[in-house]
Amino acid sequence: MKYALLGIRRDMSFETKEGGKIQGAKLYVSCEDSRVQGVMTDSFFISTNASAFGDLNALSPGINVDIVFNRYGKIDRIAAMK
């Protein structure tokens, strides 16, 4: 799905309820949605363990990106759109 990349919060980390540590990045995006007057905004967390985490190095705010989700609703792939 096509999104406008508004921002990236890199080097994010937090602790789980069980005391484990999760690290990753958060993407802030916007997209067109027929149910919303204007544009819809959203954010997605990507763990450093996710295969898509490596895709972030090629991205910067202000570009359009294609985000593909896996069957569990997690980001599988992110690519800059031309």
**C-alpha distances in Å from residue 15, one per residue of 12, 19, 27, 45, 74:** 11, 6, 19, 14, 19
Predicted confidence at residue 27, as pLDDT, reads: 97
Categorize the per-residue pLDDT at 82 as very low, low, confident or very high, splitting at 50, 70 and 90.
Answer: confident
pTM above 0.85, yes or no: yes
Predicted confidence at residue 65, as pLDDT, reads: 97
Structure token digits, residue 81: 């759109």
pLDDT digits (tens, 9 = 90+) for 23-76: 999 999 999 999 999 999 999 999 999 999 999 999 999 999 999 999 999 999
